[in-house]
Amino acid sequence: MKKLIVTAVVAAVAAAGGAQVLTPGTGVANDHGYGPTRGVNVAYAPRTAETGYGYEDGMTAIGFTFLPWAIPNSSWDVVGVRMNLGWGSYRDTAAFDFGVFSSSRNAKGLFINWCGSYVAENAWGWQNGLVNVVERRMCGLQIGLVNYAERLDGVQIGLLNFARSQWFFPFINIGW
């Protein structure tokens, strides 16, 4: 119901402003016009059964990535187990995550990756790898050669530890 309301509001705003809907992945406004390309105002419309625009999202208990390909879709959340053979990327993860390298928007759980892991927003739990990065808030433990968090509520153990809300300390960094 919420998606239907959002879709209706976006469509109404786009129609009022004379905007066209962007076809995802193409960068082209879907006006189905003929002739030369022209500049248009573009609005994003969430995926619905009627329009088919936007990106499908979902949730799975098991996520598997091989190089850059994710099974199921990388826009899904993983709640359970996630294995990465190469670069593994999912939207949000609350799981036991292991492999070569992982990437998430938000992460909760145990992350053991050989090269490391990247979290675009917040992480809770344990990150273990050569390079561990959390762009916003890390609550828990980071163990690696290089560890970074914008804000640290926990412990970093490694050769280089960076927490913008704390002092820089080699070998161990503690912040609450």
Which alpha helices (DSSP H) does the chain contain, by range? Answer: 2-16
pLDDT at res. 57? 63
pLDDT at res. 73? 79
pLDDT at res. 51? 45
- Tokens standing for residue 34: 């003929």
Is residue 90 classed as helix, strand or coil in its secondary structure? coil
Cβ burial 69-89 (10 Å sphere, 16+ → b, else e): ebeeebebbbbeebbbeebbb
pLDDT at res. 145? 95
Q: Which residue ranges of the chain lie beneath pLDDT 70?
A: 1-57, 167-169
pLDDT at res. 39? 45
pLDDT at res. 66? 86
Among 66, 65, 95, smallest CA distance to 78 is for: 95
pLDDT at res. 150? 92
How far apart, in Å, do the first and last CA atoms of the chain sit? Answer: 40
Please give the Cα distance from 110 to 86 (Å, whole number).
Answer: 18
Give the DSSP letter of residue 29: E
pLDDT at res. 90? 86
For the whole prediction, is pTM greater than 0.85? no
Please give the Cα distance from 15 to 12 (Å, whole number).
Answer: 5
Instruction: Give yes or no for a cis peptide into 72 (omega within 30° of 0).
Output: yes
Domain segments of the chain: what residues?
A: 2-43, 59-175
Q: CB 25: neighbour CB atoms within 10 A? A: 7
Summarised one tens digit per residue, pLDDT across range 47-87 is: 444 444 444 568 888 888 888 788 887 888 899 899 999 88
pLDDT at res. 70? 83
Bridge pairing between strands 106-119 and 92-104: parallel
pLDDT at res. 34? 46
